[in-house]
A and B are shown apart, each in its own frame.
Chain A
Amino acid sequence: MNQADVTKLMSQLRIAVRPNKRHLKNADGPEGRLLKLRKTVTALVKHERIELFYNRADEARGYAELLISNAIRHGDRHQATMELADYWLLEKQLVHKLFKVLVPRYENYNVSYTRMYKAPREYPGIYYRRSVLELRGNPYPSLAADQSQNRNLLHNVLLDEARKEFRRQKLSELVH
């Protein structure tokens, strides 16, 4: 019982990783495949929202999560983390962005740092699933419609009436 909790020794991913085959084969072998993923992670950190094929986004997402979470855990004085950042970020000015912009942004997050949406396929075009991968807290307008502000939407009308009725009931209980 005095053993260290092994799960605390490394960063835990905040996303579910499904054991699906990603089919990311490459003509240059594993190195070529990794280079593609490094390009994707670099583009994600640089642009904060990218649209790409679903499988590549799904695979790159895990590496981006791990990179940010290690950067938060160990800071920029940790050699292993620095090497990791140097490997995944092909443009070296993004290493500064990672430690000076993304780490302060995500320090107090308790959800995942990235978000993934399914995107529509082009027709006619290549029939692969597409997706949008983004960093949370990015400066762009939200992709999901906000359904809470418009009080005329059906569910908001129902909820408002339920709230009014609840208050009326509480008030009448107070009076009696």
Chain B
Amino acid sequence: MSAATKLHKTSWCALRQLQQYRTKANFSGSSASIAKRNDLFNQEQRRQRDAVGRIDKIEVRYLGLPEDVTLVMNGNISTPFNCAQHLSEGHCKRSALALIDGSVPWDMHRPLQESCTLQLLNFHVSEPHVVNKAFWRTCSFMLGAALNRAFKPEANLQLHSFPGPNIKSGSFVHDIVLQTQNWEPAKEEMRALSAEMVKLAAQDLRIERLDVQQDLAQEMFKDSKYKSEQLPSIAQQTNGRVTLYRLGDHIDISRGPMVASTSFLGKCVISAAHKVAEEGPSGAFYRIQGVALPSGFQLNHVAFGVLEERSKKPSPARLPNEPFEEQQQLQLS
């Protein structure tokens, strides 16, 4: 037993060293800015954790299987995931999203602030709209991370944004800017992107959430032209706070909520990349689209082929070159 643990430990350490070595070797240009961004994220996370101070106890009323129970947890520290840990391993593995007070969707790894009721949602509940939406949003976010990993620095990839999740459109979307105006992806290239998504899912990375002040977000995204342009209008809507999500070393702005981990991604295909508009003298906006199912969903490959074909059609979501504010006023009026 102990020998096996030791062996496991040493191999794990070796892997860790290898990863550190790889990240060190990759540091140059954009990687340096990613490292800086992660440092700031870590610092802010630690600061918020330290700022909790004296620990308050809160009562969380869990509603659901196997029975309704009341858990006494730590305010601003305990997360719905910690509550699930008190229930069973199955709850920890299956729960993608939490529902607070029967109506507010809450990330599994976001600390609870006060006494509340708690429901844990998976993809098989009778009314899965909320968790489906969170899954679709997570897919867009993961696509950003996969694109970051897939492209070489020479391609000069810049992530622009992803529109709100719309499952009925048949595809999740991420908009990017590339320094080329005539990229027509080959089948193999799209397959490589899908493989990156599958790799992310296999790594079972925890998706972390952090609310930060606007000036810190500006500092973190100062190297990204498009993100720093978007930040003021985002912060204006939410009283100067910006919600960030992190997956591995990839950080992006999103309103949330998202599912607990990348392992909830099952079958996934990145199906199409459409050129949307030209940007600057030599760049262009591209819209990457894909379709995915949560893990554990089994679908006949013919039926999935139909979904895949449909996901190639250009998505009707707001385009990245259209102004953000005007669209909102249109929706309001």
Contact = CB atoms under 8 A, between A and B. Distances in A.
Do chains A and B stick together as partners?
yes
Interface of A: 145, 147, 150, 152-155, 157-159, 161-162, 165
- Interface hub of A155, A158, A162 (most chain B Cβ within 10 A): A158
A163 to B, nearest CB: 9
B299 A155 contact: yes
A157 B307 contact: no
B135 A154 contact: yes
Given A152-B128, A152-B129, A157 B167 contact: yes
A142 B91 CA distance: 22
A81 B127 CA distance: 52
B293 A154 contact: yes
A162 B293 contact: no
Interface of B: 123-124, 126-129, 132, 135, 167-170, 291, 293-294, 297-299, 303, 306-307, 310
| 10 nearest CB pairs, A to B | A161-B168, A154-B132, A162-B310, A158-B307, A155-B299, A155-B297, A162-B306, A157-B167, A152-B128, A155-B293
B127 A158 contact: no
Given A154-B293, A159-B303, 16 more contacts: A145-B124, A150-B126, A152-B127, A152-B128, A154-B132, A154-B135, A154-B294, A155-B307, A157-B167, A158-B310, A159-B306, A159-B307, A161-B167, A161-B170, A161-B310, A165-B310
A134 B328 CA distance: 57
Nearest to A123: B89
Contact of A162 (B124, B170, B294, B297): B170
Contacts of B310: 158, 161-162, 165
24 contacts: A145-B124, A147-B124, A150-B126, A152-B129, A153-B123, A153-B128, A153-B297, A154-B135, A154-B167, A154-B297, A155-B293, A155-B297, A155-B299, A157-B167, A158-B167, A158-B291, A158-B307, A158-B310, A159-B303, A159-B307, A161-B169, A161-B170, A161-B310, A162-B310
A113 B170 CA distance: 39
Contacts of B297: 147, 153-155
Interface of chain A, helix or strand or loop or mixed? helix
A152 B135 contact: no
A154 B123 contact: yes
A120 to B, nearest CB: 9
A69 to B, nearest CB: 28
A157 B167 CA distance: 8
A5 B263 CA distance: 51
Nearest to A153: B128
A165 B294 CA distance: 23
B168 A157 contact: yes
Given A161-B170, A162-B170, A154 B307 contact: no
Contact of A152 (B126, B299, B306): B126
Contacts of B307: 155, 158-159, 162
A158 B252 CA distance: 27
B88 to A, nearest CB: 11
A145 B122 CA distance: 14
A26 to B, nearest CB: 30
Nearest to B307: A158
A42 B128 CA distance: 43
A161 B310 CA distance: 10
A153 B299 CA distance: 12
A162 B297 CA distance: 18
Contacts of B303: 155, 159
Contacts of A162: 170, 306-307, 310
A153 B306 contact: no
Contacts of B127: 152
B170 A158 contact: yes
Contacts of A157: 132, 167-168
A154 B265 CA distance: 12
Contacts of B128: 152-154
B54 to A, nearest CB: 38
Interface centre among B126, B170, B291 (most CB of A within 10 A): B170
B111 to A, nearest CB: 28
